Amino acid sequence: MKIVITGATGFAGSHLADHLLDQAGYEVWGVSETGQRPPYLNPRLQLARVDLRIPSAVDDLIAALKPDRLYHLAAQAFVPQSWADPWETLENNIRAQINIIQSCLKHNLTGTRLLVVGSNEEYGRIQPDELPARETSSLRPDSPYGVSKLAQDFLGQAYFLSHKLPIVRVRPFNHIGPRQNSRFVAPNFARQIVAVERGESEPMVRVGNLDAQRDFTDVRDTVRAYEVALEKGQPGEVYNIASGISQPVRAVLDGLLAHSTVAINVEIDPARLRPSDTPMQRGDAAKLKAATGWEPAIPFDQTLKDILEYERQNY
C-alpha cells in the first residue's frame, strides 16, 4: 500500500510516519515544502519537496505517486498566527486541500482514501453546559484558524457528497508530545524550565492564561486514531479524537514543574494572552471508539515527562 503524508516533517506528521513505518507492507512518502529532513525524521520515510499551494506541483505529485491512502496534515496550525495574518492561514489551509482533492479527481483516484484533519477549534465558543462536544454539536469557531479548519472539514464533506470521494474527516482536540513547536504551550513551558535548569535564565516561567481548560491527548495516540479512522471509519463521516477529560493549562505547567530539577516561580505575561480564548473544551470520542475501538493509551504524566526530556536533549 502506498501512503502519502502531507506535513510529514512536522509534529503530528513525523509521529504518523513513525507509526506507519513500524508496520509491514506500507510504502510511505512524506511531503514537505522545503524538502529538509529534521533530525527526528524517520530515515525510511521517502520525502518529496512540494508547495501544496501550487496546483501544478500538487498535480505532478499525485500523478507520480497515485497513493492508496493520503493523510492531509499540512496546515498553518498556530492560532495566534491566524490573528496576526488571517489570510495567510485561510489561503494556506484551504488552498492546499482543494489542490489535493482536485488532483485526485483529475487522475480518477476515486479509491484513494483521504483523511481531512479538522480541529476542536471548529467548536470554538462552546458553552460549558454543551460539553462534551460531539460531532453533532454546534460549530462556533472563534479564530481565523478555526474558520480555516471548518472550511477544510466542510469541503471534505462536500466532495464526498458531490463526487463520492472516500474522504474521512477528523476533529482532533489538543494533542501534545515530543517534537511540538515551542510556540505551543507544553513545549514552551518545558523549554523555559530547561533554560532555568541550565542556568541560562532566571528561575521564572512566564505564562498566559492558566485557567483555560483543554482536552489533551498524546500525539502518539492521536496518530493511531488517524490511521484507524481512515482504515475503519465511514467515508463522509466525521470523528472526534479526544480523551474526554478537561484539564486546565495549569495542570500542564504543574506537571512539568514537578519533574524539574530546580525550584521555579511563575509569572503571568500579558503578551501571552489571546484576544479570544475559549474557557473550556472537552470532546466525546465515543463515535470513533465504536467504529474502530480506539482509545487513548498514554498517561498524561508520561506525556509531560517525554516532552520535558525531549527539550532537555534537543533544546
Nearest to 11 by CA among 218, 254, 281: 218
Q: What percent of the chain has pLDDT over 70?
A: 100
Q: Do 226 and 290 sit in the same domain of this protein?
A: yes
User: Which CATH number belongs to the domain containing residue 205 in this structure?
Assistant: 3.90.25.10
- Chain centroid offset of residue 51 CA: 19
Assess whether pLDDT exceeds 80 at residue 276: no
What nine digits make up the cell of 306? 517525554
User: Which CATH number belongs to the domain containing residue 231 in this structure?
Assistant: 3.40.50.720
Number of folded domains that form the chain? 2
pLDDT tens digit sequence for 227-250: 999 999 999 999 999 999 999 999
Q: Do 193 and 119 sit in the same domain of this protein?
A: no
Q: Do 97 and 227 sit in the same domain of this protein?
A: yes
Distance CA 72, CA 273 (A): 30
What nine digits make up the cell of 70? 493520503
What's this model's pTM, rounded to 2 decimal places?
Answer: 0.96
Q: Do 236 and 166 sit in the same domain of this protein?
A: yes
Point out which residues pair with 206 in neighbouring strands: 267
pLDDT tens digit sequence for 17-55: 999 999 989 999 999 999 999 999 999 999 999 999 999
pLDDT tens digit sequence for 115-172: 999 999 999 988 889 999 999 999 999 999 999 999 999 999 999 999 999 999 999 9
